[in-house]
Amino acid sequence: MASTSGLGSAIVWPAEDGTTSPLLDASVRQCLEQEILPDYVAQCRWYGAKDAGRPVVRIREVRRFPALCGKIELCLLDLCPPGLPAQTYFLPLIEDWTARSSPSALCAITRDGQTGLLRDALTEPQVVATLVEAIRRGSSVQGIAFHHTAAFDKLAQSLPSPPPVHFMAAEQSNCSVRVGEVAILKALRKLEPGLHPELEMGRFLTETAHYAHTPPLLGWAELAGTESEAVTLCVMQQMVPNQGDGWSHVLACLREADPADEARLTAWIERLGQRTAELHLALAQDGAAEAFRPEAVDGAVLQNWHEGCRSMARRILSSLRQARPNLTGESAAAADRLLSQDQAVMDWIKDTALSREVLDHGGFVRTRIHGDFHLGQVLVSDDDAFIIDFEGEPMRPLEERRAKSSPLRDVAGMLRSFAYAAASVPETPRGWEDQACAAFLTAYRATAHACPSLPPDPDDAASLLRLFLMEKALYEVGYELANRPDWLPIPLGGVLDLLSSTRNP
C-alpha cells in the first residue's frame, strides 16, 4: 500500500459512482471505525471525553453534500468512551487528492495509483463558503435545512458570493470561522436532538427581545425534522468589531499596573455590569414563547436550589478527600483547611436562608440565563461589552442548559471570573478583586433594580447570590481537581473566604 508521511498506510478508496459515499464501503468503514477514528477523535480538542480513554466509534450516518470543491461527506459519529454513555459528534469529511500532508488529515487514501488525504472538511475554506451560500439561499439539501434571518438580509450585500473565509485560533468545543469582515460561522461538534441554546437564545435576543449587546443571529443549518427532533449543525452570527475577549483584556490591564489603565478597566467592568443587567431584563420579558416565558419561583424551587448546593458540596468534599494523598504544596494545604471544616460548609449552606416572605410567597421569577458566564464570554468593543456564547456548559445535557433559573447564577459566574483573573496575575493590586466585584455589582443593581427575576428584597437577593457563589466555587474545585490540580488554591480560597465572611456581596 502507498504511504503518506506520518499517516501510515493508505486506505484503498473505492471508485466514485456519483451517489454512494465511500465511507459506507464495508472495508473502508471497518478501517475507519476500528483503526483511524478512535485515535483521531481522542486527540481533538472538541472531543469532550478525552480523559476517559480510547472511544468505540460507530459511523451513524453519512450524507453527501455538494460543495464548491467536491462532495462533502457529512458524517455523524457515535462515540462511546469507556464507562460513559455514547455521544454524537459532527465530523464532515472531504477527499483531498492534491495535498501530501495536512494537520487536518485523518489518514491517507489511495485509488488507481493516486494518493491523497481524507481531511476534516471544516478546515477547507470552500466548504465553509458553501455552507454560507446555502444559508444565504435558505435552501434544503439532503435533509439539511438552511435558514437566514432579517439581520442577514440587511448585510447580505456586504458579503461577497462566495465569501472569503479566515480560520480563527485553535477550536475548543466548536469550530469558529470568520466569514469576510461581517460574520462568524460556528460549526457545532457535539450534537444533541432538540433546539440548541446557541440558536434558540440567538433568535430570541435578535428577533424578539432586540437585545443590542450580543452579535445578531444571521442564520443556521440543521438536520431537518420536527422542532423537537431537529439537530443544529451550525449557526452564523454578525461579527462585532472587538479588541479581544474580556479575560485577555482584564489580564493585560492588570499586568500593566498603570493607574490610567486601572481607571479605564473599572469603567469597563461597570459597563459590563450594566450590559449583564440589560440581558437579564431582556430575558425576563413577559408574553414570550413558552421556552422563554418567566416562571414563578416558589418554596419548592428555592428548596431545590439549596439542595443542589448541598449535593454539590457532598460530592466535591468526598472527591477532595479521596484525592488529598496526591496533592502537594499549596493545593494540599488549602485542601486540608477546607476538609477540616467540612461540616461548617454544610452548616453554611443551611444558614444561608431567605426571608420567610420569599419562602412563602416567592415574589420573583426564574428565566433563561446565559448559563456559563465569565470574562471569556464577553467581547471588548472599544469601551463597551458584548456578550457571546449562549450554549451553556457544553458537557451538561441539553435539557439542563435550556432550563430556567436565577440570573444571579450568571452574576456569581462573573464574580468568580474576577477571582480567577486576580489570582492569575502576580502584579494584581491588593484588593482589586473586591473593587472589581463592587464595581460590577453596583452597576448591575442600578440597572436591574426592578428586574422581575430578582428577589424584591436586596437582602434576599444578596443571600441567594452568596448561595450561588458557594455552588460555583465548589464546582470549580471539582473541575480543577480533575483537570488542573495546581489551580486548586483559587477555588478552594473562594470557598474558604465565603465560610469566613459574614457580609453579603
pLDDT in tens, 444-481: 999 999 999 999 999 999 999 999 999 999 999 999 99
Q: Are residues 320 and 462 in the same domain?
A: yes
DSSP secondary structure code for residue 161 in this structure:
S
Residue 395 has pLDDT above 90, yes or no: no
**DSSP-derived pairing of the beta strands 144-148 and 140-141:** antiparallel
- Last residue in a domain, options 90, 120, 150: 120
Residue 364 makes CB contacts below 8 A (sequence gap 6+) with 297, 358, 452, 453, 454, 455, 456
Residue 3 has pLDDT above 60, yes or no: no
pLDDT average, residue stretch 13-36: 90
Specify the pLDDT at position 226.
53
pLDDT in tens, 266-278: 999 999 999 999 9
- Amino acid at residue number 269: I
CB 278 within 8 A of CB 436: no
CATH classification at residue 170 = 3.30.200
- Last residue in a domain, options 120, 141, 161: 120
Q: Are residues 48 and 81 in the same domain?
A: yes
- Last residue in a domain, options 120, 153, 171: 120
Q: Are residues 320 and 199 in the same domain?
A: no
Assigned domain for 399 exists: no
Per cent of the chain over pLDDT 90 is 72
Q: Are residues 133 and 225 in the same domain?
A: yes
Residue 490 has pLDDT above 80, yes or no: yes
Assigned domain for 186 exists: yes
Residue 100 has pLDDT above 50, yes or no: yes
CB 394 within 8 A of CB 411: no
Residue 85 makes CB contacts below 8 A (sequence gap 6+) with none
Find where cell 479566515 sits: 166
Residue 359 has pLDDT above 90, yes or no: no
Question: What are the CB-based long-range contacts (under 8 Å, 24+) for 389-394?
Answer: 389/198, 390/197, 390/198, 390/201, 390/202, 390/205, 390/214, 391/174, 391/188, 391/196, 391/197, 391/198, 392/197, 394/48, 394/173, 394/190
Indicate the length of the chain as a whole number.
505
pLDDT in tens, 49-95: 877 889 999 999 999 888 767 788 999 999 999 999 999 999 999 99
Specify the pLDDT at position 153.
93
Tally of structural domains, the chain: 3
- What is the distance between the alpha carbons of residues 12 and 25, in angstroms, rounded to a whole number? 10
Look at residues 48, 57, 46 and name the one whose alpha carbon lies nearest to residue 482.
Answer: 48
- What is the distance between the alpha carbons of residues 309 and 306, in angstroms, rounded to a whole number? 5
Specify the pLDDT at position 5.
47
Give the pLDDT band of residue 19 (cuts 50, 70, 90): confident
Element (H, E) at 187: strand 183-188
Q: Where are the beta strands (DSSP E) in 104-171?
A: 105-111, 114-120, 140-141, 144-148, 165-167
pLDDT average, residue stretch 230-253: 95
DSSP secondary structure code for residue 95 in this structure:
E
pLDDT average, residue stretch 208-226: 91
Specify the pLDDT at position 225.
64
Q: Are residues 226 and 171 in the same domain?
A: yes
- What is the distance between the alpha carbons of residues 468 and 462, in angstroms, rounded to a whole number? 10
Q: Are residues 106 and 133 in the same domain?
A: no
pLDDT average, residue stretch 188-194: 88
CB 217 within 8 A of CB 240: no
CB 273 within 8 A of CB 373: no
pLDDT, the chain, mean: 91
Assigned domain for 419 exists: no
Give the pLDDT band of residue 307 (cuts 50, 70, 90): very high
Assigned domain for 441 exists: no
Backbone angles phi, psi at 424, to 5 degrees: -85, -15
CB 108 within 8 A of CB 2: yes
Range of 205's domain?
A: 126-238
Give the pLDDT band of residue 2 (cuts 50, 70, 90): very low
Backbone angles phi, psi at 233, to 5 degrees: -100, -40
Question: What are the CB-based long-range contacts (under 8 Å, 24+) for 99-104?
Answer: 100/4, 100/5, 101/4, 101/5, 101/6, 101/7
Instruction: Quote the radius of gyration of the chain (alpha carbons, Å).
Output: 25
Q: Are residues 105 and 145 in the same domain?
A: no
Residue 6 has pLDDT above 60, yes or no: no
CB 414 within 8 A of CB 276: yes
Give the pLDDT band of residue 99 (cuts 50, 70, 90): confident
Assigned domain for 310 exists: yes
**284 to 32, 117, 401: CA distances (angstroms):** 48, 50, 17
Residue 269 burial by Cβ neighbours in a 10 Å radius (0-12, 13-18, 19+): buried
Q: Are residues 107 and 165 in the same domain?
A: no
Which three three-digit cell numbers place residue 439?
464595581
- Amino acid at residue number 351: D
DSSP secondary structure code for residue 22 in this structure:
G
Q: Are residues 106 and 234 in the same domain?
A: no
Q: Are residues 57 and 176 in the same domain?
A: no
Could you tell me which residue, 302 or 195, shows the higher pLDDT?
302
Look at residues 186, 237, 246, 238 and name the one whose alpha carbon lies nearest to residue 378.
Answer: 246
Q: Are residues 149 and 209 in the same domain?
A: yes
Specify the pLDDT at position 265.
96
Give the pLDDT band of residue 331 (cuts 50, 70, 90): very high
Assigned domain for 280 exists: no
- What is the distance between the alpha carbons of residues 379 and 245, in angstroms, rounded to a whole number? 4
CB 337 within 8 A of CB 374: no
- What is the distance between the alpha carbons of residues 224 and 221, in angstroms, rounded to a whole number? 9
Specify the pLDDT at position 193.
83
Specify the pLDDT at position 179.
94
Alpha helices in 26-112 (DSSP H): 26-31, 37-42
Q: Are residues 106 and 209 in the same domain?
A: no
